Amino acid sequence: MSHTSSDSVVLNDPKVVNGWAMFDWANSAYALVITTAIFPGYFNGVTDKEFSLFGIEMTNTALFSYSISFAYLIIAAMLPLLSGIADYGGKKMTFMKRFTYLGSISCMMLFFFTGMNNLWIGLAGFILAVIGFAGGQVFYNSYLPIIASEDQLDKVSAKGFSYGYVGSVILLIVNLLMISFPSVFGLDFLVKNFPHLFGESATALAARLSFVMVGAWWMGFAQIPFNRLPKQAAVGKVDNLLSKGYAELKKVFQKVKKETHTKRFLTAFFCYSAGVQTAIFLASTFATDVLGFSTNELIIVVLILQIVAIGGAYLFASLSGKFGNKRILILILSIWIVVCLSGYLVQDKTMFYAVAGGVGLVMGGVQSLSRSTYAKFIPEGSDDTASYFSFYDVLEKSAIVIGTFVFGFIDQILGGMRNSMLALAVFFIIGIIILSTVKIGRKIE
């Protein structure tokens, strides 16, 4: 085994790698329950279909899309500064913890969101949870090239996503049981005897309790990576960490600017991420609004999606070892195009189950393989891994801003989400075109 130059960490240590992957186990509960399975349907159910906000007429689905755009606009502006500070000031773990606690507490806050009368609680809680999730993710990602050797990056990255899928599915099954059988959990008794505290719907109470459980799950299991990941020493003392953060970012930008194929990969990544992340965030809203899926039906769809995604992450990691990251990424993006076209054409729930299976197959593969591919562009032994990954994450977050805004804008202007699904295919087509120009070499293969 070898060591990193920055932290003298033994590479590929199973305890450290598994501990790192447990962060995905912890925060993926948010990604599944809050952004995909339960909260979107709950949000649509307790808000008016059309209303005026700040004098602007909009639909609840468009508002949900815009709230994602706003959250990622904030995080995209923050992360370059924070990651630079983390690299220089030895605060990688500090920021990882702070964002985790912000996100998990914000999920718990959603318990108090019950409808249009306290819409601000739902929007604030959701936006802050998004920021907490996205903020912690950049520091989590930056540990990957520190704990794993280059030949193990694909495998370790896939392990993280797989842990996330398994952990989040376990919690989602518990949530499904609560929503399907509220009386078994005593929720009927609570709403009957204490309606002023718990509301008048046992099903809605089950959903709100799910948000609390996500926060507790996220915060609790995150303690494992917090204890196992290597401690980072400060590079040196500096009077103004804010200016140092920008200086670190500028330094990495100058390095990336000189690498033609790194720039091309990041440009392609930006384009197809706009499609990937928007589809993941808004697929549930599409299912409930366009196809009339109930919460229980939607959870079952998401469970299928997650189970398929576990195999997909490992499948494409294995294929990348045989055929190269670039070829497999192009294959994955081609499948995404088919998924978008199918979403535009889907007319019934049965067909949507097939579309969801397609999303699951490529969802984990594109995220895992993109992360590990980018890690191979980072100079071996670099002390600037968080700053390098800030480029990656800021591009991804900025892509989400563009993708979700376009999705919401088309929904609002044209009055339907089918056209929005069709527009997402354009992002994947552009991504394939640019990715095809990236030189295939040792760094990518």
Q: Is the pLDDT of residue 416 over 80?
A: no
Confidence of residue 392 (pLDDT cuts 50, 70, 90): confident
Q: For residue 49, give both structure tokens.
A: 């279909």
* pLDDT per position as a tens digit, 349-380: 888 888 888 888 888 788 878 878 888 887 77
Give the CB-side neighbour count of residue 365, counting CA atoms within 13 A: 30
Closest CA to 281 of 117, 80, 130: 130
CB-CB contact of 338 with 391 (8 Å): no
Q: Is the pLDDT of residue 443 over 50?
A: no
- Higher pLDDT: 21 or 291? It is 21
What number of residues does the chain have? 445
Give the span between the Cα atoms of 154 and 150, in whole angstroms.
8
CB atoms within 10 A of CB 121: 16
Q: How high is the pLDDT of residue 434?
A: 94
Find which of 51-60, 265-274, 300-309 is predicted with most confidence, using mean pLDDT: 265-274
Q: Is the pLDDT of residue 110 over 50?
A: yes
Q: Is the pLDDT of residue 261 over 80?
A: yes
Q: Is the pLDDT of residue 269 over 90?
A: yes
Q: What is the mean pLDDT of residues 276-301?
A: 79
CB-CB contact of 272 with 431 (8 Å): yes
Give the span between the Cα atoms of 269 and 250, in whole angstroms.
21
Q: For residue 214, give both structure tokens.
A: 């996500």
Burial 154-185 (b: 16+ CB within 10 A, else e): bbbbbbbbbbbbbbbbebbeebbebbeebeeb
Give the span between the Cα atoms of 117 and 184, in whole angstroms.
30
Centroid of chain to Cα 91: 22
- Higher pLDDT: 389 or 329? It is 329
Give the span between the Cα atoms of 252 and 248, in whole angstroms.
6
- Higher pLDDT: 110 or 53? It is 110
Q: How high is the pLDDT of residue 262?
A: 85
Q: What is the mean pLDDT of residues 389-401?
A: 80
SS3 58: strand
Q: How high is the pLDDT of residue 87?
A: 64
Q: What is the mean pLDDT of residues 73-82?
A: 79
Q: How high is the pLDDT of residue 1?
A: 40
Helical spans, DSSP H, in 291-384: 295-323, 325-345, 349-375
Helical spans, DSSP H, in 32-118: 39-46, 60-89, 92-109
Closest CA to 177 of 345, 169, 239: 169
Q: How high is the pLDDT of residue 108?
A: 97
Indicate the average pLDDT of the chain. Answer: 84
Q: How high is the pLDDT of residue 442?
A: 43
Closest CA to 400 of 32, 28, 44, 35: 35
Confidence of residue 4 (pLDDT cuts 50, 70, 90): very low
* pLDDT per position as a tens digit, 176-207: 899 989 999 999 999 998 888 888 789 999 99
- Higher pLDDT: 236 or 103? It is 103
Q: How high is the pLDDT of residue 358?
A: 84
Q: How high is the pLDDT of residue 427?
A: 92
Closest CA to 383 of 234, 279, 250: 234
Q: Which domains does the chain have, with CATH numbers?
A: 14-229+240-435 (1.20.1250.20)
Find which of 107-111, 167-171, 229-233, 409-413 is predicted with most confidence, using mean pLDDT: 107-111
Q: How high is the pLDDT of residue 308?
A: 83
- Higher pLDDT: 249 or 429? It is 429
Q: How high is the pLDDT of residue 386?
A: 66
Q: How high is the pLDDT of residue 7?
A: 46
Give the span between the Cα atoms of 193 and 303, in whole angstroms.
33
CB-CB contact of 253 with 83 (8 Å): no
- The residue type found at 330 is I
Of 238-242, 355-359, 408-412, give the lowest mean pLDDT range: 238-242
Q: For residue 429, give both structure tokens.
A: 């087509």
Of 196-210, 228-242, 255-269, 353-367, give the lowest mean pLDDT range: 228-242
**Residue located via tokens 């299991």:** 221
- Helices and strands in the chain: count of H runs, count of E runs: 18, 2
Q: How high is the pLDDT of residue 445?
A: 46
Give the span between the Cα atoms of 124 and 434, in whole angstroms.
37
Q: How high is the pLDDT of residue 3?
A: 43
